[in-house]
Amino acid sequence: MGRLFGTDGVRGRANATLTPELALRLGRAAGIALAGESSHSAMIIGRDTRVSGDMLEAALAAGLCSSGVDVVSCGVCTTPAVAYLTRNGPFVAGIVISASHNPPPENGIKFFGHNGAKLPDATESMIETLVIGLQVSPDSQPRSERIGRYSFQPGLANSYADHCRNIASAGIAGMRIVVDGANGAGHRLNPGILESLGVIVTRIHCEGEGERINDGCGSTHPRSLQQALVEHRADLGAAFDGDGDRVILVDEKGRIVDGDHMLAIFGTHWADTDRLPGNVIVGTVMSNLGLEDCLRPRGVRLERASVGDRYVAELMRQTGAEVGGEKSGHIILSRHGATGDGLVTTLEIMEIMARTDRPLSDLAGTMTEYPQLLVAVRVSSREGWERNPDIAQAISRGERALEGTGRLLVRASGTESVIRVMAEGRDERLVRSVVEDIAGVVETALGGTV
């Protein structure tokens, strides 16, 4: 079966590699690993709008109930809402059925511990071992009253909405925002919360059509948001991904404000306050060099984690940082939760805009971004790519070319059959030349397409 868990849970093509049979076994294994011998422990499940979500939730819930775990479903619900409810409710764990920003035919299952954080590697390995080796016999299964029960409680998300409303002050009332809901989990929840705070919301891609989740919209496709922003003359735009744990903003001029710029805004305005203990922010190896240059004069240190929000969260715990995130817009503000939260990030940026009476373009302009190019090469398999001699030679050439003027990063995606090639530096032509050279070698060596 191979390794099930990637950097963000178990993912695959729904009803092909991610089957209801696998979901059932995952449910049974998770019940054993996370609930133990506790009688009628409860877990909460939320999902995005994908067509396969109903099927996978039913199978997963059946597996959990068969292991003696009560299942509470909040229906279509964002990842940060489920994480918040897990952390603040009577649940031993939380589960989200979503493939985040990935295309509609794919789906995923990710778990949160009772603290609202993603499971450590050791716990995921335990679940994986149980999935592979679990032998179910009639004598080992709970009987009668010990079998778990299933209930549907969509109103649970109201407490998360109240939490979000408590973050914002009255200063953001009257601000104009365009929300791109990616036809995903937050297509109703996020704009509804903003409107309850007096914000004037224009909705795009908020129909919640699971067949079109992330399809030409959302945080990975913000072009339509940029166009709508200028058309409606709004103060800012927010493009969420399919499960709502990340956001890409657009300023009033229609320009992208990514996660690096958001971290720069937080670092600039929270330096030397209790919002930024130790004056440290956690980014990733993909964070632009311009972020470091922006933070350094303010006395703020940037620590770099491996790519993946779980590694950002881990380094945040190690360094005591309360702010961390990725260029992709996955921002963790640990004061509010243990995982990324696109809506909370948006509210905090709006708060700074209101408090300083400055437009988003001005705030984001404090960071100058070095030319950076990222190419994703789709491959037949990412296994063993780093041992390919042709790829290794191409990387060495690129590192020599950029030495002293930039940096290079080549890595395999943790969730897709993709090799990502990223370079940045002061010379844009050199950056492009290096990336194109390496991407071409990867494509030739591994049979992929750029």
Helices in 73-222 by DSSP H: which ranges? 79-88, 121-133, 157-167, 189-196
Helices in 5-46 by DSSP H: which ranges? 20-30
Per-residue DSSP letter, 339: S
Amino acid at 70: D
Torsions phi, psi for 238 (to 5 deg): -135, 120
In the numeric block, the tokens 């009476």 are attached to 357
Is residue 417 within 8 A of residue 357, CB to CB? The reply is: no
Work out the number of other CB atoms within 10 angstroms of the CB of residue 137.
6
Separation CA 15–CA 6 (nearest Å): 18
Catalytic residue among 100, 219, 328, 413: 100
Instruction: Pick the closest to residue 395 from 441, 432, 360, 352 (CA basis).
Output: 441
Is residue 265 within 8 A of residue 363, CB to CB? The reply is: yes
In total, the chain counts a number of residues equal to 450
What element of type H or E holds 42? strand 42-47
Q: Is 87 helix (H, G, I), strand (E, B) or coil?
A: helix
What element of type H or E holds 350? helix 342-356
Is residue 352 within 8 A of residue 273, CB to CB? The reply is: no
Does residue 100 have an active-site annotation?
Answer: yes
In the numeric block, the tokens 């950002």 are attached to 312
Is residue 321 within 8 A of residue 270, CB to CB? The reply is: no
Q: Is 298 exposed, middle or buried (0-12, 13-18, 19+ CB in 10 A)?
A: middle
Question: Buried (b) or exposed (e) across 83-108, using 16+ Cβ within 10 A?
Answer: bbbbbebebbbbbbbbbbbbebebbb
Separation CA 80–CA 259 (nearest Å): 17
Q: Which positions ≥6 away from 173 have C-beta within 8 Å? A: 197, 198, 199
Separation CA 2–CA 296 (nearest Å): 43
Enumerate the active-site residues. 100
